[in-house]
Amino acid sequence: MRSQRRHVAAQDLIFAEGDPPTTAFLVESGRIEISTVQHGRVQVLGELGPGELLGEMAVLDNSHRSTSARALTDCVLLPIDRDQFSERLEAADPVVRALLMSQLARYRSALATLTRGGETAPGATAPVPHVDPGLDKIRLESELRLALERGDLDVLLQPLQDMTDGTIAGYESLIRWRHPERGQVSPAEFIRLAEETSLILPIGDYVLDRVCAMLVRLRERRDEPLPFIALNVSARQLADADLVPRWIARLAAHDLPPDRLRIEITESLMFDTPRIAQLLDACHAAGMTVALDDFGTGYANLGVLADLDFDCIKLDRSLVHRLSSSRGLALVRAIVAMARGLRCQVVAEGVETSTQYALLRDLGCRYAQGWLVGRPVPLRDVVAD
């Protein structure tokens, strides 16, 4: 990486139109004239001074210089390597990157029109049509907004079985997107997208409404006791101060007992301990229960479990799938013992085989969720049982 300052004498050329894009510069002192040649005549486009970037456009989109830069006074320039930009661009949000590159392309085309009546500058690269992943993401997000308005988001229920007597204790609500071209899109894909903007908030309210309507429907069926329904909640939703009061109001509007709504928050949110503690207090005060989802997936900080009184721990399916090894078995046994000590229920997620089921039951894990017990299904399949 170059870091040595470059001293340029007045009237010296820094780069010429058509040069390859090797470096950009930060102007430390002096003034620089930016120009282009039009019909054989030099046309001055502007002047740059201290604190401004020079030559970054060609470096950003890897095209030849579309202008020339000449020092008007003695100048000191700090070279900036292409890598310094490109690594950051690579790491940037693809949407931000797409916006930047589209603005750059538009600026280049305006520059070409201004200086050459629409002809492309020598060495300048014509924009290549391609589907930018950032733009693809924006498109998907707009479609998701539309899907929410149209009600193309389905909420399915997956049963949680009590292994001591085989009854269904409750259900987890899981969202699905019926996409007109892509078919069913997984929440693993679109929930992350929705979390990047505030779109997750109306989606969360939508799922809550559907869950309340489902509880009402289950109550009409006079299931005794009424099973609970678990609601997955994202990090961004937790920042909404009105979240718990809204849950309480919705439940009250349908005259539903608050303990029939279980909140699931994923282990990856645990680093924000004070916020989670507040949520737990507010939920418990209202009578709702809270589960720690995906337990054991990488962010486990066991210490915080001493401060955060979750009602339930959901053993991630990656742990359930390790039951076949003696070390995996030892780990799950220890987690079940820990949960018992904390007076916390344990739900095993992703139970797919009867061997896993039997092992979990023998270890003292009480609840099982997974394809063996039941896949996520629409409410009509639940009430038809």
Q: Which positions lie near ligand C2E, rule CB under 6 A?
A: 158, 173-175, 186-188, 191, 207, 232-234, 264, 266, 293-294, 317, 349-352, 370-371, 376
CB of 257 to Mg ion, least distance (A): 21
CA R_g for the chain:
30
Q: Are strands 289-295 and 228-233 parallel, antiparallel or unpaired?
A: unpaired
Q: Are strands 153-162 and 168-179 parallel, antiparallel or unpaired?
A: antiparallel
CB of 343 to ligand C2E, least distance (A): 23
Structure tokens at 171: 């259900």
How far is it, in rounded angstroms, from Cα 123 to Cα 222? Answer: 76
Between 124 and 157, name the residue whose CB sits nearer to ligand C2E.
157
> Contact, 147 vs 165, CB < 8 A?
no
Contacts with Mg ion, 319-338, as mask; x by CB under 5 A = --------------------
Between 75 and 351, name the residue whose CB sits nearer to Mg ion.
351
Question: Using CB distances below 5 to 8 A depending on partner kind, what does residue 384 bind out of Mg ion, ligand C2E, none?
Answer: none
Question: Using CB distances below 5 to 8 A depending on partner kind, what does residue 17 bind out of ligand C2E, Mg ion, none?
Answer: none
For residue 265, give the DSSP letter: E
Between 143 and 349, name the residue whose CB sits nearer to Mg ion.
349
> Contact, 25 vs 79, CB < 8 A?
yes
How far is it, in rounded angstroms, from Cα 231 to Cα 265? Answer: 9
CB of 210 to ligand C2E, least distance (A): 9
Which residue type is seen at 137? K
CB of 281 to ligand C2E, least distance (A): 21
Q: In 3D, which of 293, 296, 342, 292 has the Cα closest to residue 323? A: 296
CB of 276 to ligand C2E, least distance (A): 15
Does residue 264 interact with Mg ion by CB under 5 A? yes
Residue bearing tokens 């797409």: 98
End-to-end CA distance of the chain: 67
Between 68 and 232, name the residue whose CB sits nearer to Mg ion.
232
Question: Using CB distances below 5 to 8 A depending on partner kind, what does residue 347 bind out of ligand C2E, Mg ion, none?
Answer: none
> Contact, 29 vs 52, CB < 8 A?
no
How far is it, in rounded angstroms, from Cα 91 to Cα 77? Answer: 26
Helices first, then strands: H and E counts in the chain: 13, 17
Between 58 and 191, name the residue whose CB sits nearer to Mg ion.
191
> Contact, 235 vs 198, CB < 8 A?
no
- Of residues 56, 143, 267, 294, which one binds Mg ion by CB under 5 A? 294
Between 161 and 232, name the residue whose CB sits nearer to Mg ion.
232
Q: Looking at beta carbons, which residue is closest to ligand C2E?
A: 370
Between 55 and 370, name the residue whose CB sits nearer to ligand C2E.
370
- Of residues 33, 56, 267, 293, which one binds Mg ion by CB under 5 A? 293
Does residue 33 interact with Mg ion by CB under 5 A? no
Largest CA distance in the chain: 90
CB of 127 to ligand C2E, least distance (A): 37
Which residue type is seen at 261? L
Question: Using CB distances below 5 to 8 A depending on partner kind, what does residue 186 bind out of ligand C2E, Mg ion, none?
Answer: ligand C2E
Does residue 234 interact with Mg ion by CB under 5 A? no
How far is it, in rounded angstroms, from Cα 156 to Cα 171? Answer: 9
- Helix (H/G/I), strand (E/B), else coil: 350: coil
Between 107 and 271, name the residue whose CB sits nearer to Mg ion.
271
CB of 241 to ligand C2E, least distance (A): 18
CB-CB neighbours of 70 under 10 Å:
19
Between 14 and 276, name the residue whose CB sits nearer to ligand C2E.
276
Does residue 232 interact with Mg ion by CB under 5 A? yes
Structure tokens at 81: 């390597």
> Contact, 257 vs 226, CB < 8 A?
yes
CB of 378 to Mg ion, least distance (A): 18
Rule CB under 5 A: which residues touch Mg ion? 232, 264, 293-294, 349
